[in-house]
């Protein structure tokens, strides 16, 4: 005897509606007959409705109810048997350091450096599979928004919400961001042991303006721990002013220093030095460019670590048989008429139905 389980058993609750549908239909048929008799009279009604087969109408109703029943069971996805498969999750632990300093608001890269960086990082996240990702927002200070996790959707949500007010101090300090990256690895990372060596990487997303020293030393210390450093640069060498907008997004002017408009330029010098120290690679972000794909390919070249394994149980789907029976019953009901074949009696000039 085959024992079934249902992938979506909640759908079976609709089976309770079938008896209600059957009883309601029987009631409507009888009510309709009574209305015909009331309208035409007891003598004319049987004559005019003589060709209507009440037996066929009952059969059509039964077929409709059973067809719907089989459709409901098929929708609940009956399954039988099972097989188990052990699935391993392999990848790299990556912490993204996202620059949200005021200079990232410059619009020399459209629509702005910050918005372009968000789009490119989201494109990269769409490519990553099996990797554990963390996110740190930094400027003059740094804050861990998410330790390394496999929840890519949550990381993308944090990325979309990034703005300069996400950190308390402005400026750009890579050293503080790199130190926070170490903390992010410790909080959510997988510990290395004799059986597992975890490959870790840091991706710096910035326009490259570093106003403090110490970043190179932090990068060198991270490389000694086996961490690779990559960078995604935004902005142009021509640069642009930093817009000041009101709460409604209307432009009110540009940031100034001593009465002069501040022009922020991107040369990528610091970022290139960091990736050189970190044995990684540097790419410049352009709208619809290949930087995310190139970064993804560089990450895939790193040694993949096995983070965890899980046993997945799969079942054989059996809904097809129930669906087929339902379709056959529905087709029979469709082609089954409500009229009965009957002879005719000739009485003078008129044809009347047999009684």
190-216 pLDDT tens trace: 555 445 557 889 999 998 765 556 888
Residue at 71 is within a domain: yes
> Does 146 lie in the same domain as 107?
yes
Out of 303, 328, 344, pick the residue that ends a domain. Answer: 303
Nearest to 272 by CA among 233, 234, 218: 233
Residue at 220 is within a domain: yes
Instruction: Write out the E strands in 139-183.
Output: 142-149
Do residues 42 and 109 touch, judged by C-beta distance below 8 A? no
256 compared with 350, residue with greater pLDDT = 256
pTM of the model as a whole: 0.60
* Model confidence at 309: pLDDT above 60: no
- Return the bridge partners of 132, or none: 93
Q: How far apart are CA 166 and CA 8, in angstroms?
A: 42
> Does 333 lie in the same domain as 275?
no
Q: How far apart are CA 233 and CA 209, in angstroms?
A: 10
> Does 265 lie in the same domain as 128?
yes
Looking at residue 343, its pLDDT comes to 46
Q: What is the DSSP letter of 265?
A: -
Do residues 99 and 118 touch, judged by C-beta distance below 8 A? no
> Does 289 lie in the same domain as 214?
yes
Distance, C-alpha 259 to centroid of its chain: 48
Q: Helix 113-127 vs helix 152-160: angle between axes, to the nearest 10 degrees?
A: 170
Nearest to 135 by CA among 102, 161, 109: 161
283: CATH: 3.40.50.410
10-15: long-range pairs with CB below 8 Å, 24+: 10/76, 11/72, 11/75, 11/76, 12/72, 12/73, 12/76, 14/72, 15/69, 15/72, 15/73
Mean pLDDT of 20-41: 79
> Does 130 lie in the same domain as 182?
yes
* Model confidence at 351: pLDDT above 60: no
* Range(s) of the domain holding residue 54: 5-82+316-353
> Does 149 lie in the same domain as 201?
yes
> Does 246 lie in the same domain as 169?
yes
Looking at residue 327, its pLDDT comes to 93
Q: How far apart are CA 33 and CA 46, in angstroms?
A: 10
Mean pLDDT of 270-297: 90
Looking only at the bridges linking them, the beta strands covering 227-233 and 200-206 are: parallel
> Does 98 lie in the same domain as 63?
no
> Does 264 lie in the same domain as 163?
yes
Distance, C-alpha 65 to centroid of its chain: 37
* Model confidence at 3: pLDDT above 90: no
- 127-167 pLDDT per residue, tens: 987 788 999 999 888 889 988 888 899 999 999 999 888 77
Residue at 88 is within a domain: no
> Does 111 lie in the same domain as 32?
no
- Cα separations in angstroms, 262 against 11, 139, 259: 63, 17, 9
Residue at 87 is within a domain: no
> Does 126 lie in the same domain as 210?
yes
> Does 112 lie in the same domain as 164?
yes
How many distinct structural domains can be found in the chain?
2
Low-confidence winner among 51-65, 163-177, 309-323 (lowest mean pLDDT): 309-323
Residue at 124 is within a domain: yes
Residue at 310 is within a domain: no
* Model confidence at 51: pLDDT above 80: no
Q: How far apart are CA 84 and CA 312, in angstroms?
A: 6
């Amino acid at each position: 005897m085959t024992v079934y389980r249902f992938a979506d058993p909640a759908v079976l609750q609709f089976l309770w509606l079938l008896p209600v549908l059957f009883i309601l239909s029987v009631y409507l048929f009888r009510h309709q007959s009574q209305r015909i008799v009331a309208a035409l009279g007891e003598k004319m009604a049987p004559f005019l409705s003589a060709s209507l087969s009440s037996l066929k109408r009952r059969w059509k109703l039964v077929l409709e109810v059973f067809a719907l029943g089989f459709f409901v069971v098929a929708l609940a996805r009956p399954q039988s048997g099972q097989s188990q498969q052990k699935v391993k999750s392999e990848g790299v632990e990556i912490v993204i350091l996202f620059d949200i300093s005021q200079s990232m608001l410059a619009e020399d890269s459209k629509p702005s450096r910050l918005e372009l960086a968000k789009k490119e990082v989201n494109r990269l996240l769409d490519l990553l599979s099996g990797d554990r990702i963390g996110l740190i927002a930094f400027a003059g200070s740094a804050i861990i928004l998410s330790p390394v996790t496999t929840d890519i959707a949550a990381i993308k949500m944090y990325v979309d919400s990034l703005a300069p007010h996400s950190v308390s101090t402005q400026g750009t300090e890579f050293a503080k961001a790199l130190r926070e990256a170490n903390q992010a690895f410790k909080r959510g990372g997988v510990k290395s042991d004799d059986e597992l060596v975890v490959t870790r990487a840091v991706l710096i997303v910035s326009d490259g303006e570093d106003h403090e020293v110490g970043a190179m030393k932090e990068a060198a210390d991270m490389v000694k721990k086996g961490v690779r450093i990559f960078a995604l640069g935004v902005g142009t060498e021509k640069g642009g002013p930093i817009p000041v907008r009101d709460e409604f997004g209307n432009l009110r002017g540009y940031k100034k220093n001593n009465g002069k408009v501040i022009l922020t330029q991107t040369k990528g010098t610091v970022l290139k030095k960091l990736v050189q120290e970190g044995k990684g690679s540097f790419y410049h972000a352009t709208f619809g460019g290949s930087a995310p794909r190139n970064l993804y390919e560089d990450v895939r070249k790193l040694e993949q670590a096995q983070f965890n394994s899980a046993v997945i149980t799969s079942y054989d789907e059996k809904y097809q048989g129930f669906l087929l029976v339902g379709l056959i019953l529905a087709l029979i009901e469709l082609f089954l008429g409500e009229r009965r074949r009957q002879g005719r009696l000739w009485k003078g000039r008129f044809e009347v139905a047999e009684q």
